[in-house]
Amino acid sequence: MKNLLLYIRSFFYFLPNILEALFSKPETIAYPAVTHKPPAGYRGSVRIIAENCIGCGLCVRDCPSAALKLEKDSKQSFRLIHYRDRCTSCGQCELSCKFNSIYLDNTYEEAFSKRKAFIEVLVNKTENK
Amino acid sequence: MNLFNIFIRIFIFPGFLFMLILALFLHWLDRKLIARFQGRVGPPWYQPLADLVKLFAKEDILPSGTNQYFAAILPLISFASVLTASFYLPIAIQSAPSFQGDFIVLMFLLSMPSLMYFLAGWVTQGVYSIIGGNRSLLQYFSYEVLFLLAMSGTAIASGSWALTDIRLTQIKESPFIFPQIIGFFLSLAGLIGKLKREPFDIPKAKSEVIAGALTEFSGKKLALWYLTIQLQTVVGLSFLIHCFFSGLWQMNTIIGFFIFLLFLIILQCALSAISAIYARLRIDQLIHLNWHIFIPLTLLHNIYILLK
Amino acid sequence: MNTEKAAIELRDVLNLDKSTTKQIPFNEVEISIPKQQLLLAVNTILKSGIWHLSAITCQQLEDDFILLYHFWKSGGLTLQIRLDEKKPQVDSICPLIPGAEYYEREAREMFGIEFLGLPNPVPLLLPDDWQGGYPMRKKEQPSYDKTEGDDLLEKGKSS
Amino acid sequence: MSKITVPIGPQHPLLKEPLSFLVSLEGEKVTDSVLRLGYVHRGIEKLAEQRTYIQNIYLIERICGICSHIHSTTYCQSVEALLKLKVPKRGLYIRMLLCELERIHSHLLWLGVLAKNIGLNTLFMYAWRDREIVLNIMEEISGGRVSHSVNVIGGVQVNLNESHLSLLQQNLQKLNTRVKEILRSIENDRSFQARTQKIGHLSLEDIKRYCVVGPVARASGLDIDIRRDAPYAAYDELNFEVPVMTEGDVWARSILRVLETLQAIRLCVQIINNLPDGPVSIPAPRRVPAGEVVSRAEAPRGEVFYYVRSDGSQNPARLKVRTPTLTTLITLPGQLKNMQLADVSAIIAGVDLCIACGDR
């Protein structure tokens, strides 16, 4: 019998919680319609300032998931290739780069249908003489 | 009543179509309320209909070796029995066919789906379905009995087994909700046990036995099962309202009909609140709660009515 | 620190000289003991009130195996055992500390070390039908399908 | 009675991660159960031997989705010990702040999973709604909701400015009231007690035999906590209590974890109030001198153990990780003996399995 009274007591104990939740705004958002704005410091996808890059490869050496590749023909002409599908947005390239040319912005919605679309040539410097 | 009137009575107004719409509406209300209790947005109004349409379109497969006909008949029988039960309930029309003893017929028709649920588990022979079926059998014997005993309190008070007599005595004296408040709550608990709703939904516990006896069903059969459960809620609740509240409004009037709908919605909110608050009880706690607390209370309550 | 005291006491029981003990960071005392005296050493440690075995590390140094038994009681005590590569065998300490069963099973399937008396010598992490040898041994190189940009991993390693 | 073997198989609503559990039943009573691991084994220790110390930071974080920061903290502090680096105080404080925030996040996530397994969906939603507050704080500070990649060898790569501190101050206040509310509702909810009391019992003697760590051990009366017994980072400058209970069943573990969450919030507030200023990290050389180190830390699930041996090159020669979940997994078949099938879901949720941690 005590058991039943305890059940009834916990009913009236919990009732104010659910009523308060009932009349307050719901916490969830309908995602595709309403998007969640990430904070400024959010580490999203890799971007680059091509002028500062001198092709030293510091970022390529430290990337944990081999998402960066440097094809260097000579001192002036080289290409920095970024494999977006392998990148885990850890921010180590931004840390290792001494010329602050590579950085992470806070975009996170990125989907492509073909695998090729994930590969992006960040820097493409050719012999301009 | 001429043929056309009967056709309307059975298929359109208080019959098939109206019950379906009411069932879908109450099911949506239930899911929306629980969602809002939990701080979620909740489904749009057409969600239950969309689920059914999707299920009807889905492929209907069964494990190899199950008896195809048996598995097809079970959802049909339970769906038909709940629908015929809805014809005996005078929701807004005075002249519902009523005879001495239709209280028992209604009780039997409402308990058919639970039996079919157990057989469905036995037919499909899945590991989870057998365990789900066994559990629903245990629950069938305890909570159907509770529902029958608690509701028969009103029949005893009105001295006859006919629904219209129950209603007439309530109009003469006072609605049974006031003298038999305990009987009302016990029959509500019995209804929750019968519908296998939240605190007593161990037979279809998502975390242990996936979907219990319905694990192997899909497509049209599963849609029928879900429709049966939703219809059973509506018929059960209107049965409860008829036996405990029917003196509060005059039949066959528009206002009476809307008051009836209002009571239906209030009771559905109560069911949703109960299912939002309690955790799922184990099968032995369920049986213990029923046979050690609810049944003795109901018997005492009925004896008290008899002596009064 | 009672792990210090336990280490000294252990050395007396096994009459080892001072050179076998070594201090490594985060106040850990490491004693290397011969293979035969393992059960005796674990018994004395248990008797001196240290029951918590944190882990059993197994590794390959030059060409023989090293087993490290890490005990802990608000300070670390590690037993080091050296096994030769041909027939790495040691007796299991599961009868004394049932908690060591998973660590011994993992060392067995990853390095191929035989633990005599291991309750159920079933692989812990690798699938039952694994024929890929002992993956954690030095000469075993992980084989995974090459995807574009994979050669960078090797380059990352060598530079 | 009919003898059925129920596969709580690799893919099951009870489990967040793949783990195979063959539970053989007699009627409703569990007779014995066979546990099978290895579905999420990625061979991280082998991979770590082919990467440089810097690349390993981000590999080590992928061992576990929920306690990623504690893994990278233990790893970085062991490499710093090999390099004999003196990490600046502010870096240590920020590192501890994220450790405690991750403990709150892990405990609230666990509470939601337990509530869902025993059918109390409302508590599941409330627990995960409050967890969003912590996730937003972590997203604001470190730029990542779950894997924060905040640690570098020699300190932290993130700094806290005024706006972060004020955001932390008011959100932790809100979180404190919410978690107290949850504690009050757990203690008074009869159906929650009915489903969690007196099941999955572990005696103190079992705890010692199986070397169990973390909240599961503290709920059976064993008073250990690495943060207090062998303080790492700067835990010796903070004061906090370690809740210990003695019943040793799922109920005691639930209460204990919520109390620990409250303690973690108290720690976070202390960290913010006396955050020292100065640099957050110092540069570290790429080659680590030869040596070996053993380092331990208090993960949300207990003592996490790291052994790193370096041979002077850029790659670790051996990296051994022992996660706390392995110690609780070994006791599961014992706890499940002659329990009901319905209790299996509460017990599996009670020990807070992080299977990705266990399999590495």
Could you tell me if residue B11 is inside a domain? no
Neighbouring subunits of C (3+ Cβ pairs under 8 A): A, D
- Does the pLDDT of residue A129 top 60, yes or no? no
Nearest alpha-carbon partner for D68 in D98, D90, D47, D92: D98
The reply to whether residue C99 touches residue D317, judged by beta carbons under 8 angstroms, is: no
Tell me the percentage of chain B whose pLDDT exceeds 90: 28
pLDDT for position C143: 58
The reply to whether residue D188 touches residue A13, judged by beta carbons under 8 angstroms, is: yes
Nearest alpha-carbon partner for D69 in D147, D157, D159, D155: D147
Q: Which amino acid is at B30?
A: D
The reply to whether residue D195 touches residue B279, judged by beta carbons under 8 angstroms, is: yes
Cα separation of B151 and B257, whole Å?
Answer: 23
Cα separation of D353 and B233, whole Å?
Answer: 38
**Lowest mean pLDDT: which of A96-100, B172-176, D40-44, D250-254?**
B172-176
Could you tell me if residue B12 is inside a domain? no
Tell me which residue in C124, C127, C157 faces D315 most closely, judged by beta carbons.
Answer: C157
- Does the pLDDT of residue B9 top 50, yes or no? yes
The reply to whether residue D143 touches residue A64, judged by beta carbons under 8 angstroms, is: no
* Domain assignment of residue B121, given as a range: 18-307
> In 3-state terms, what secondary structure has residue D334?
helix
pLDDT 10s digits, B51-108: 999 999 988 888 888 888 888 899 999 999 998 888 887 776 656 677 788 888 888 9
Q: Do chains D and C meet with 3 or more Cβ pairs nearer than 8 Å?
A: yes
Q: Which two tokens stand for residue D220?
A: 């059976």
Which chain A residue's Cα is nearest to B281? Answer: A7
pLDDT for position C159: 32
- Does the pLDDT of residue D341 top 90, yes or no? no
Could you tell me if residue B185 is inside a domain? yes
- Residues from chain A that touch C157, judged by Cβ atoms under 8 A, are none
- In this structure, the number of other CB atoms found within 10 A of the CB of residue D6 comes to 20
The reply to whether residue A69 touches residue C150, judged by beta carbons under 8 angstroms, is: no
Element (H, E) at D24: strand D20-26
Which chain D residue's Cα is nearest to A64? Answer: D55
The burial of D35, by beta-carbon neighbours within 10 Å (0-12 exposed, 13-18 middle, 19 or more buried), is given as middle
Cα separation of D120 and D123, whole Å?
Answer: 6
Cα separation of B184 and B192, whole Å?
Answer: 12
Looking at the structure of chain B, the number of domains it has is 1
Q: Which two tokens stand for residue D207?
A: 């705890």
- Chain mean pLDDT for chain D: 89
pLDDT 10s digits, B168-208: 888 888 777 888 888 999 999 999 999 888 888 888 887 77
Which chain D residue's Cα is nearest to A27? Answer: D129
Nearest alpha-carbon partner for D120 in D65, D174, D182, D181: D182
> In 3-state terms, what secondary structure has residue D66?
coil
Q: Which site among A3, A7, A22 would you substitute to test the B interface, given the most B Cβ atoms closer than 10 Å to its Cβ?
A: A22
Can you give the three-state secondary structure of D72-132, one letter per residue?
Answer: HHHHHHHHHHHHCCCCCHHHHHHHHHHHHHHHHHHHHHHHHHHHHHCCCHHHHHHHHHHHH
Q: Which of residues 74-133 of C touch D (CB under 8 A)?
A: 74-76, 78, 97-103, 123-127
pLDDT 10s digits, B103-133: 888 889 999 998 998 898 888 888 888 888 8
Could you tell me if residue B9 is inside a domain? no
Domains and CATH numbers, chain A: 46-125 (3.30.70.3270)
Gyration radius of chain D's alpha carbons: 21
Q: Which of residues 57-116 of D touch B (CB under 8 A)?
A: 115-116
**Lowest mean pLDDT: which of B192-196, C135-139, D227-231, D255-259?**
C135-139
The reply to whether residue C157 touches residue D52, judged by beta carbons under 8 angstroms, is: yes
DSSP for chain B, please give it: --HHHHHIIIIISSSHHHHHHHHHHHHHHHHHHHHHHTT-----TTHHHHHHHHHHHS-----TTS-HHHHHHHHHHHHHHHHHHHHHS-SS-S-----TTHHHHHHHHHHHHHHHHHHHHHHH--HHHHHHHHHHHHHHHHHHHHHHHHHHHHHHHHTSS-HHHHHHHHHHS--TTTTTHHHHHHHHHHHHHHHT-GGG-GGG-HHHHTTGGGTT--HHHHHHHHHHHHHHHHHHHHHHHHHHHGGGS-TTSHHHHHHHHHHHHHHHHHHHHHHHHPPPPPHHHHHHHIIIIIHHHHHHHHHHHHH-
Could you tell me if residue B101 is inside a domain? yes
